[in-house]
Amino acid sequence: MSTERDILITEVALRDGSHAIAHQYTVEQVKKVAKALGEANVPYIEVAHGDGLGGSTLQYGLSRTNEMELIEAAVSVCGDSKVAVLVLPGIGTITDLKQAVSIGAKMARVATHVTEADVSAQHLSKAKEMGLETVGFLMMSHMAPVEKLVEQAKLMESYGADTVYMVDSAGALLPHQVKERVRALRQNLQVNVGFHGHNNLSLAMANTLAAIEEGAQRIDGSIRCLGAGAGNTQTEVLIAVLENMGIKTGIDLYKLMDTAEEVIAPLLQSPQEITRDNLVLGYAGVYSSFLLHAQRASKKYGIDSRDILIELGRRKVVGGQEDMIVDVADELARQRKAN
């Protein structure tokens, strides 16, 4: 593998990790984390509700703290690091994005389902007009053939994305599948290619390295694996691995390790590990942020959460259809009662 290029890391624990703690971040917690990440020279720190700007709703989960306060808090302490925000068209608005920019956000990551890139046009073009670094984020990339992924990525490129990510939202992809997809994107795009993985099948690190081997320049990680499902590629471990490979990130490994141990670990409600439910997310190809929703529905309806997740996977339910989780649980409960 070539080691002549650098890799730029985006730390997602203050956004993706919001799912793992039911969106309960406080201003003080975000300040502490963002300050430590800034001191470790992490180039980008993503801050938002788990489902992006405007995600604090009954359907997606109510935030403890207004996300604009969290973004402003991170900006105030992160030093030279840049704060990124995630926005899903249909949830987050241009007004939300403008407000985030006004308080210091420097990167907009516009996320859509892998087959729905066309809905990102306005958000990407407006973000570009506002002077932001722009990222197209193609979620649930395992659900489309390679040709479709390339087609959708080229749309995002045409709308103004500086980078296009293939996102393994379910942690369902295998390394050879990641390689095939990243290779195709590199061959067909002029802009940077990124990768965002989840660890539901214990493959986040392997998949990330596969992406880098095929030329991905932008990589996401979550410190201490603090992310939806079983978490993302563990940032401090990734930095250690890349250093051993001779790939530069500019991140201070010792400071990042200390942050993981002393700042992040106390925030975890439970260790980020591959539980039976996390495993089923990857096995069934289900959106990682569905985990807590499925567990709540399991308790309410007396249905094994694994059965709920398997059925969601069978129906190819995607992000934005969280209401289907309750519907599926209710339907399964009725079927069991009828039998």
Residues making up the annotated binding site for Mn(2+) are: 16, 196, 198
Phi-psi sector, 245: left (phi>0), alpha (psi -120 to 50), beta: alpha
Give the C-alpha separation, 168 to 254, whole Å. Answer: 28
Q: Please, what is the angle between helix 121-129 and helix 94-102, to 10°?
A: 30
Res 322: pLDDT: 82
Measure the CA angle with vertex 299, ends 293 and 301; round to 5°: 95
Give the C-alpha separation, 319 to 197, whole Å. Answer: 16
DSSP string covering 209-239, please? HHHHHTT--EEEEBGGG-SSTT-BSBHHHHH
Res 22: pLDDT: 87
Q: pLDDT for 13-34, tens place per residue?
A: 999 999 988 899 999 999 999 9
CA distances from 292 to 19, 108, 269, 281, 296 (A): 8, 26, 13, 11, 6
**CA atoms lying within 13 Å on the CB side of residue 85:** 36
Give the C-alpha separation, 211 to 197, whole Å. Answer: 10
3 state SS of 256: helix
Q: pLDDT band for 61, please (50, 70, 90 cuts).
A: low
- Assess contact for 134 and 124: CB atoms under 8 A: yes
Residues that are catalytic: 19
- Phi, then psi, of 137 in degrees rounded to 5: -125, 100
Question: Hey, what domains does the chain have and what are their CATH numbers?
Answer: 8-267 (3.20.20.70), 276-338 (1.10.8.60)
- The average pLDDT across 291-315 equals 92
Residues making up the annotated binding site are: 15-16, 169, 196, 198, 287
Residues facing residue 196 across a β-bridge: 167
Q: pLDDT for 138-149, tens place per residue?
A: 999 999 999 999
Residues making up the annotated binding site for substrate are: 15-16, 169, 196, 287
Measure the CA angle with vertex 242, ends 200 and 166; round to 5°: 45
What are the residues whose beta carbons fall under 8 Å from the beta carbon of 175, sequence distance 6 or more?
Answer: 203, 206, 207, 209, 210
For residue 112, pLDDT over 80 is answered with yes
What are the residues whose beta carbons fall under 8 Å from the beta carbon of 271, sequence distance 6 or more?
Answer: none
- The average pLDDT across 266-295 equals 89
Res 3: pLDDT: 40
Residues facing residue 213 across a β-bridge: none
In residues, how long is the chain?
339
Res 50: pLDDT: 86
Give the C-alpha separation, 83 to 206, whole Å. Answer: 27
Q: pLDDT for 182-227, tens place per residue?
A: 999 999 999 999 999 999 999 999 999 999 999 999 999 999 999 9
What are the residues whose beta carbons fall under 8 Å from the beta carbon of 80, sequence distance 6 or more?
Answer: 38, 41
